[in-house]
Structure 1
């Protein structure tokens, strides 16, 4: 019986790898590059999709361009221009407000849903499927749905508000309401993710901990504060970090719903970087804005690692 060529080549590759391991075991002083060659494709892909674009943006931040033509090296001029701009700091405040508000809304809604549905048994499992629906939608679809819901002319949300005797105003056309509404939509879209992560963490908590609290006379709040919240805190931390990075780089929802307006009230750093790449004559300052977003993301990751290190240490 003949052996398929694919099986022969696979067996030969495994035999070569095994021989390398055996040789390295027999002779500890011998170093072989063969095992590391198996990681070469993954390293190349990581470089092409992550490291190279990052290095290119850093290099571009020190250059001056005229549309898509390179003019020359400018040193720190782009950084000085961006950091001295009041619009940059206004945009930074808007971004941090957007991230903080969306994160707070998503965590509160997600935790509340997880606590309620975790005690609902089979009914809770069924309801989770429906609650997950917003998370399955793309941001462009979410933006289109809420554009219709919030339309001041025929949208159901302004209609209900008006029936309650309250003037709904221009909704997304109002500079004072646009950002809070974007935050609400973002929290509505992302809270199912928090619910799933929190539910998984809650279901892994040993029941003996709750029984011990009951023996000591603790009520529902004590169980939540000293058992549930304490046990799921690492999961909530990683979830919050993931969502924060996602919010900082999210711009599709803003593009669809407000386009950064009205009067720049919903212009975040990521949206400004996108708009600058498309419209700006000199892309150098836009690259600086992108680097600021990168620095904030790295800082969030470092802060989370430090906090989790203290918690586990």
Structure 2
């Protein structure tokens, strides 16, 4: 009589159930935990630098704007008093701050449309040519990467009242050129023209890349239907460039609201503060030791940038 042996059933692994709810317990993969720890370790140096050199000074300057702190108080910080919104109220009542605010608004109103128009026109022209396109791209973009101090010094010599290249050239045609940087009427527009020449290269590259994404099929179909070149540009190209135009308007507006280097090198804010901007005013206040007033001016400029950016997004964003 033979006995049949039954082999034991293979052992099966089953998740460990919770004694209370009977649900499987999730086990954390040690590898993922190690990766998370490693990621935090790698991020800690950047976070420390950000807190010390960016977030810390920003918060400190914000708190400083509500005090009467001056450079002489650095030796005795306990002498600093809290003044609330007094610095902001004093700035709004200051005739000089009102003047530099108007100057900054003029930089914005004149510079942004002109810069975007020149950049878009140049991009459209470069998008149509086939020869020497790379040469023109580099030539138009070169002022962007050139030292702003060097460029400003060269332009200052070009625009001199006597012996300047600009007045010399227009003098050949019998025109007596003005003192471009010495007149309260021409100094600010002259700086705007110089800033447009220097800055439009960045937008040109961005617009040129965006133009190459416009489907040729749409343009060819519109041309077949008899649409003129201007109509194709207005009703097809520009609407498809709306996101890029919004980006260009935002970054260009922020740049002109922070206008400083050109006026600092070429005019020192003159004549009669005609070219001084809010950023220049803030720089002067810190130089004079008025730390609290300078901080308040900087945060008023920050609020202006935020409001303008919000307005541009409202006006130029894609419609639903």
Q: TM-score range by the shorter chain?
A: 0.7 to 0.9
Partner of 2:292: 284
Residues 106-121 of structure 1: pairs in structure 2 closer than 5 A? 106-121=115-130
Q: What is the deviation of 1:296?
A: 1.5
Partner of 1:311: 318
Q: In structure 1, what is the Cα distance between the partners aligned to 2:34 and 2:314? A: 36
Q: In structure 2, what is the Cα distance between the partners aligned to 1:300 and 1:82? A: 20
Partner of 2:16: none
Partner of 2:140: 131
CA distance 1:302–1:44, change in 2 (3 Å): farther
CA distance 1:45–1:211, change in 2 (3 Å): farther
Question: Structure 1-normalised TM-score?
Answer: 0.84
| Root-mean-square deviation (Å) | 2.3
1:225 corresponds to which of 234, 254, 259? 234
Q: In structure 2, what is the Cα distance between the partners aligned to 1:299 and 1:44? A: 30
Check conservation: 1:162, 1:168, Cα contact below 8 A: yes
2:167 corresponds to which of 158, 166, 177? 158
CA distance 1:139–1:197, change in 2 (3 Å): same
1:103-125 CA-partner distances (Å, limit 9, x unpaired): 12211111111111111113223
Q: In structure 2, what is the Cα distance between the partners aligned to 1:50 and 1:303? A: 27
Check conservation: 2:242, 2:318, Cα contact below 8 A: no
Check conservation: 1:135, 1:189, Cα contact below 8 A: yes
Question: Structure 2-normalised TM-score?
Answer: 0.82
Q: What is the deviation of 1:297?
A: 1.8
1:54 corresponds to which of 52, 58, 63? 58
Looking at CA atoms only, which structure, 1 or 2, has the larger radius of gyration? 2
CA distance 1:96–1:126, change in 2 (3 Å): same
CA distance 1:220–1:277, change in 2 (3 Å): same
Report the count of equivalent residues.
287
Q: In structure 1, what is the Cα distance between the partners aligned to 2:56 and 2:306? A: 17
Check conservation: 1:238, 1:304, Cα contact below 8 A: no
Q: In structure 2, what is the Cα distance between the partners aligned to 1:40 and 1:96? A: 41
**Unmatched 5+ residue regions in structure 1?**
1-15, 23-31
Partner of 1:4: none
Q: What is the deviation of 1:43?
A: 3.6
Check conservation: 2:219, 2:232, Cα contact below 8 A: yes
Moved more, 180-189 or 116-125: 116-125
Partner of 1:20: 33
Check conservation: 2:171, 2:177, Cα contact below 8 A: yes
Q: What is the deviation of 1:168?
A: 1.5
Higher helix share: 1
Determine whether 1:64 maps to 2:68.
yes
* Local SS of the residue matching 2:81: strand
Check conservation: 1:110, 1:195, Cα contact below 8 A: yes
1:148-170 CA-partner distances (Å, limit 9, x unpaired): 11011211101122222222122
Q: In structure 1, what is the Cα distance between the partners aligned to 2:117 and 2:213? A: 20
